[in-house]
Amino acid sequence: MKNPWEEISLADYENHMKLDSVMQLQAMNEMMKGQFSAYPISSVMILGVAGGNGLEHIRKGKIKKVYGVDINSSYLKAVSLRYPNLGGLLECLCINLINETDKLPQADMVIANLLIEYIGYECFQKAIRQVAPKYVSCIIQINMEDNWVSDSPYLHVFDGLEQVHHQMEEQALEKAMLEIDYLASRTLEHMLPNGKKLVQIDFERQSKPKR
């Protein structure tokens, strides 16, 4: 059975995310600027890269390798077309994180924005163990109301996601990461116009990974 993210067009996803009533594309773009510059890294992996929102903030002199990971191959083709200036730096990997985490290479940092919601804590732990980054930065969506997808003309495009969606909680994520030796180091919040907020939680590995 196909993952529902393989069926959602990039145009529908991005048009929904950038609506004035949603504003998540814009908010994440600004937050990603901070994610890329916060730590002394030379390689970064973006899990759930989608269309590459935020990649324009990559500083080529500082970061020497960028992995863009997604389950949807058409998203990855769009990323390559949109960021030709990252040629030689950017490597797009079509990987299903549910059952192909062993295909992930290592990187200094993992960025996972609105991704853990669709794979769950345990699967995310497996991915992080495999990549063994020093730093992890996650953005999760906290819903103050019952509906986790904002009302929009594109609402029904996301109907299939119900089968893979997990409700996120800050403390539960911090607990899951501590189980694999990553301690929360900072938290940032960004309020959205629709009764939701984005919460960024950064983690730092506490010891050397066991390989």
Q: Tell me the pLDDT band of 33, cut-offs 50, 70 and 90.
A: very high
Query: Considering the domain 4-205, what is its CATH architecture?
Result: 3-Layer(aba) Sandwich (3.40)
Contact 127, 100 (CB under 8 A): no
Q: Tell me the pLDDT band of 21, cut-offs 50, 70 and 90.
A: confident
- Nearest 10 degrees: Cα torsion 46, 14, 200, 115: -50
- 21-35, 94-108, 138-152, 173-187: segment of lowest average pLDDT: 138-152
Over residues 147-163, the mean pLDDT reads: 69
Contact 132, 106 (CB under 8 A): yes
**123 three-state secondary structure:** helix
User: What's the pLDDT score for residue 151?
Assistant: 61
Strand order in the sheet with 135-143: 90-94, 65-70, 43-47, 109-113, 135-143, 196-205, 182-191
User: What's the pLDDT score for residue 61?
Assistant: 86
Over residues 91-99, the mean pLDDT reads: 96
- In 3D space, the residue among 35, 70, 41 whose CA is nearest the CA of residue 133 turns out to be 41
Q: Tell me the pLDDT band of 150, cut-offs 50, 70 and 90.
A: low
User: What's the pLDDT score for residue 9?
Assistant: 93
Is the model's pLDDT at 154 over the cut of 80? Answer: no
- 5-14, 21-30, 123-132, 152-161: segment of lowest average pLDDT: 152-161
Contact 140, 168 (CB under 8 A): yes
Over residues 21-35, the mean pLDDT reads: 92
Over residues 129-140, the mean pLDDT reads: 97
Is the model's pLDDT at 211 over the cut of 60? Answer: no
User: What's the pLDDT score for residue 2?
Assistant: 84
Interatomic CA distance for residues 35 and 100, integer angstroms: 25
Give the 3-state secondary structure percentages of the chain, helix then strand then coil, rounded to 5.
35, 25, 40
User: What's the pLDDT score for residue 97?
Assistant: 96
